[in-house]
Structure 1
Amino acid sequence: MHSLFEEQEKYMQQNYLSRPYAAITGIGGYVPQKRRTNLDLEQVCDTSDEWIMKRTGIKERRILDKDLATSDMAVMAIRDLCTQFNKDLDDVDAIIVATSTPDVMMPATANIIAKKLGLKNVWAFDMNAACSGFLYALDMGSSLIETERYKNVLVVGADNISSFVDIQDRSTNILFGDGAGVVWLEPSSENGIIDAFMQSNGDGREFLNIEGGGSLHSLNNETIAIEKKYIRQDGKVVFKQAIQSMSDACNQVLKRNNLDIDQVNWLIPHQANKRIIDAVGKEINIAADRTLSNIEYLGNTIAATIPLCIWENLKQLQKGDLLMLTAFGAGFSWGASLLRWAI
């Protein structure tokens, strides 16, 4: 006779195997019309198009109008998704927004988005893991689907990072732009999120941050607010750590799933710097023509880079393709996700 423990173990295994995948069944994006080109930056600081392209691979970035906020971009991206994939917003159960640039300190930007979309009684909340935010939120969203508590989850990556860029600082003004991307998750018996490996530590706090505006350096102290309101980074440290962390995360996922890199159809990395993208591809030994990128004309849009990159390269993806997503951000935070494309 089986013990009670054995019966419970058998039930849990059967239940786990019967859980659905969380599949991406729709994707949308939005980028502002205004462009900040390398020529524009030449007029405000000691830099050049040649220098910027050589170091980053970025030619221009999109900049949101001053009277708009992160939620406005997210709403536009969600509406784009609904139009392109014939989705009904009334079906949405939850909205997870990955952002480092919320509209306000409170309420959550996800709440504001729900209001602007006319949604009632949805679970809406924000996550902040900087440039890794979309992968963190995607993992959370897939967990909601896998538990079968929710059937339709919007995962948004959106940042109005230009609001925190010092236009005189050439270590950051050449990198960052604004944008929003979103995916619709729902259950699937065949394709979807297969695995995710997420990590973080506090080692990177001094090397990449926006210190002003929180409880430590509040806006009540005007001197601190002015001094610390911009994004700052130590490019050399971030560059080296990003390559190592993203490569390691990808290799961890491959190992855990008994896969060889040749079985992965597409690598879709965080769009931080073209040299980082190329280096990660070399480290994990994937062919350059199987790495998707859109950094040249959008720059680093923080949590929006990966969904925007997928959105802009949709025509290259085929249903059943195996995708590896990877990101690295402030914290430090990093990770990789493996999924079977369902569209």
Structure 2
Amino acid sequence: MYLHHVAAYLPEAVVTNAHFTRLNGLASEWIIERTGIQERRKAAPGENTNTMAVAASRAALAATPAFAPEQVDLIVVGTYTPHDTIFTAAHAVQRDLGVNEIPTVSISSACSSLLNAVEIVEGYFAMGKATHAVVVVSEHNTAYNNEEDTMAGHLWGDGAAALLISKERLTPDDLRIAEVITGGAAPVSKADESVTLKPVERGIVMPFGRDVFQQACIYMARVTQTLLDKHRIPAPELTYLIPHQANLRISKNVTKQLGIDPARAVSNIERLGNTGCAGAAIGLAEVWHKLRGGDKVIITVFGGGYSYGAMLLEK
């Protein structure tokens, strides 16, 4: 199957580290040293996971005439920050497109939802139940975040991205989705409590950030190396590595383990903060127009609950 286009949506409001210095006394230098984050985006009043998902899908479809809205026969949306758990973001995208009576699926696999969503598309395509899919990842972290939490309140940003995926190649510029690997490591260490979002309690909390850091470095490097080995790609020949945008130190650790030039790791966490399952897709949108024939890209992700995965794209 093929990735035809990807586009992102980001709210206009920018929240700098100075906000958390005023609120909690956290120095900007301290935040940058530990996370790499300098600023993040915040959804405006009236914006939410659904509106951002719609905006991203509109942007993706508007950019290409080869993938018409009326051709869409599958919608899959990933998020762990829903605006509504009944009329989901996937339903909001379907209603906006006006395409009736097609499979419409919302999933939540923490920050690995992007790749799980692509796997769902892979299954529908294999069964002959769809040929043109819209995958959207959208997070409204600030709706749930407790900014006064000095451990994790400064990490989160909002944003969305949409991918147009077809069973057959539509144009010579499409990227082939060579393989997707996903897994779950929930039995490992503190997977059940390291990152939680409990709306009736304190929102998004991360009491065991060090454990998340360690496991993310292990699993993102391992699953990426699996793809490199299986497809016989020497690490230096990888055009881009797009890691989950959780912490700049994680990205640097993973590239070091793999022997990949840090300059080839796509990073937006400095400007956007942790945008959850949307982060890597936003990163892909940012380098989309730089890709050339022969390029190879791996997206690698890790999320709360210790879900993980990697996807190989070939130009």
TM-score tier by shorter-chain length is over 0.9
Please say if 1:187 is aligned against 2:167.
yes
**Match of 1:43?**
22
The alpha carbon displacement at 1:165 in A equals: 0.9
Please say if 1:196 is aligned against 2:180.
yes
Please say if 1:251 is aligned against 2:228.
no
The alpha carbon displacement at 1:293 in A equals: 1.2
Please say if 1:211 is aligned against 2:198.
yes
Please say if 1:109 is aligned against 2:89.
yes
Larger radius of gyration: 1
Please say if 1:62 is aligned against 2:41.
yes
- After superposition, where does 1:160-175 map in structure 2 within 5 Å? 160-175=140-155
**Match of 2:2?**
23
**Equivalent position SS for 1:130:** coil
What 5-or-longer segments of structure 1 have no aligned partner?
A: 1-21, 213-224
Q: Residues of 2 paired with 1:164 and 1:291: CA distance? A: 29
The alpha carbon displacement at 1:291 in A equals: 1.2
- After superposition, where does 1:1-343 map in structure 2 within 5 Å? 22-86=1-65, 87-188=67-168, 191-203=175-187, 204-212=191-199, 225=200, 227-341=201-315
Q: Residues of 1 paired with 2:123 and 2:239: CA distance? A: 24
**Equivalent position SS for 1:153:** strand
**Equivalent position SS for 1:188:** coil
> What is the CA deviation profile of residues 109-143 of structure 1, one whole-angstrom value per residue up to 9, with x for unaligned ones?
21122113322112111111111110111122233
The alpha carbon displacement at 1:260 in A equals: 2.1
**Equivalent position SS for 1:255:** helix
Q: Residues of 1 paired with 2:33 and 2:206: CA distance? A: 21
Counterpart contact for 1:142–1:193, Cα < 8 Å: no
TM-score, structure 1 length as denominator?
0.85
Q: Residues of 2 paired with 1:173 and 1:51: CA distance? A: 14
Q: Residues of 2 paired with 1:233 and 1:70: CA distance? A: 25
What 5-or-longer segments of structure 2 have no aligned partner?
A: none
Q: Which runs of 4+ in 1 moved over 6 A?
A: none
The alpha carbon displacement at 1:32 in A equals: 0.4
Q: Residues of 2 paired with 1:239 and 1:232: CA distance? A: 11
Matched residues, number: 307
**Equivalent position SS for 2:227:** helix
**Equivalent position SS for 2:310:** strand
* Identical amino acids, percent of aligned pairs: 29
TM-score, structure 2 length as denominator?
0.92
Counterpart contact for 1:77–1:182, Cα < 8 Å: yes
> What is the CA deviation profile of residues 237-279 of structure 1, one whole-angstrom value per residue up to 9, with x for unaligned ones?
1111111110011111222223321332211111111111111
Counterpart contact for 1:145–1:185, Cα < 8 Å: no
Aligned partner letter, 1:205:
D
Q: Residues of 2 paired with 1:146 and 1:265: CA distance? A: 28
Residues 266/237 of structure 1: CA separation in 2 closer, same or farther (3 Å cut):
same
**Equivalent position SS for 2:270:** helix
